[in-house]
Amino acid sequence: MNTGTPAPDSYYVRTDTHRFKPTARASGAWDETELHFSPLGGLVVHAIDRHLATRPPGGLLLSRISYDILGRLALDECEIQVETVRPGRTIELLEAVVSVAGRPVVRARAWLLSAQDTAAVAGGGADPLAPPERLAPWRMADQWPGGYVASLDVRPVGTPRPGRATAWVSTPLDLVAGEPCSPLASYVALVDTANGIAVRESPKAWIFPNVDLTVHLHRHPEGRWTGLDTTVVFGRSGQGITSTVLHDVHGPVGHAQQVLTVRPISGE
């Protein structure tokens, strides 16, 4: 999308305590007048982080976050409100609601679990991925339009195939202009990219947007790279699933699932 002025080096600009304006860097993927969900997912985690920072430290870790996308995500200013649904000292449930023009467009729920020392029994995950520094970049923007995809540094592990790809993703941009964000918020801001790295069919002929995203974590990620080991399955009646093992440079950190609505462009 050409706005006539350079976009800031961020996906969002804060306009008020709970309000954020997306930049052109957040646009895509089928429609550049719409928002790519990925940076919004990270922004919700950032809002949750800021909400928790107003309270005394509780020793709780975000361990699952699920997003339901309620409709079209316009490239417009949004408001995010966070509240506690189920309080607790060792287990807590938060809800974040994203609204545009007064209408809820995303509802997210996050389970926080108490931090414990379980190093003695840790294990069971997949093998680490090849380090991103050893891999060649891939121009994902050749397949997908929009400012978000154009902002990414994508490093595939092997050759992507229809419905199957493993890749590292990072970005030089800030999530929110002038604001430090947690490693988790920055990491989650790239997870929704999974549905675009292992496409089964051309996005010029088919649309297959996800209507949700759920992220489960067995540890919090570290570093600037989000590793996506992704498989995409299409069913016979218009549904699909994108399943991803999530990695950082030290190894697996959890899983992500997305349910897709699959339909030909001509039948949209």
Q: What is the DSSP letter of 6?
A: P
Which pLDDT score is estimated for 194? Answer: 97
CATH code at position 224: 2.40.160.210
The verdict on residue 2 lying in a domain is: no
| DSSP codes, 102-151 | TEEEEEEEEEEEE----GGG----PPPPPPGGGS----GGGT--SHHHHT
d(CA 76, CA 74): 5
- Convert 28-90 into a string of H (helix), E (strand) and C (coil): CCCCCCEECHHHHHHHHHHHHHHHHHCCCCCCEEEEEEEEEECCCCECCCEEEEEEEEECCCC
SS3 25: helix
The verdict on residue 166 lying in a domain is: yes
245 in Cβ contact with 226 (< 8 Å): no
Tens digit of pLDDT at every position of the chain (268 positions): 444 445 579 999 999 999 999 999 999 888 889 999 999 999 999 999 999 999 888 889 999 999 999 999 999 999 999 999 999 999 999 999 999 999 999 999 999 999 999 999 999 989 999 999 999 999 999 989 999 999 999 999 999 999 999 999 999 999 999 999 999 999 999 999 999 999 999 999 999 999 999 999 999 999 999 999 999 999 999 999 999 999 999 999 999 999 999 999 974 4
Q: Which two tokens stand for residue 148?
A: 């978000």
The verdict on residue 120 lying in a domain is: no
The verdict on residue 211 lying in a domain is: yes
Which pLDDT score is estimated for 67? Answer: 98
Which pLDDT score is estimated for 57? Answer: 85
Instruction: For residue 26, give the H/E element and its range.
Output: none
Scanning the structure block, which residue is given the tokens 């590292």? 168
The verdict on residue 124 lying in a domain is: no
Which pLDDT score is estimated for 147? Answer: 95
Structural domain span for residue 98: 10-115+130-267
Helices and strands of the chain, counted as H and E runs: 4, 15
Which pLDDT score is estimated for 7? Answer: 56
- Torsion, CA 202, CA 207, CA 208, CA 211, rounded to 10: 150
The verdict on residue 241 lying in a domain is: yes
d(CA 185, CA 44): 8
**Domains held by the chain: number:** 1
d(CA 152, CA 35): 15
The verdict on residue 208 lying in a domain is: yes
The verdict on residue 125 lying in a domain is: no
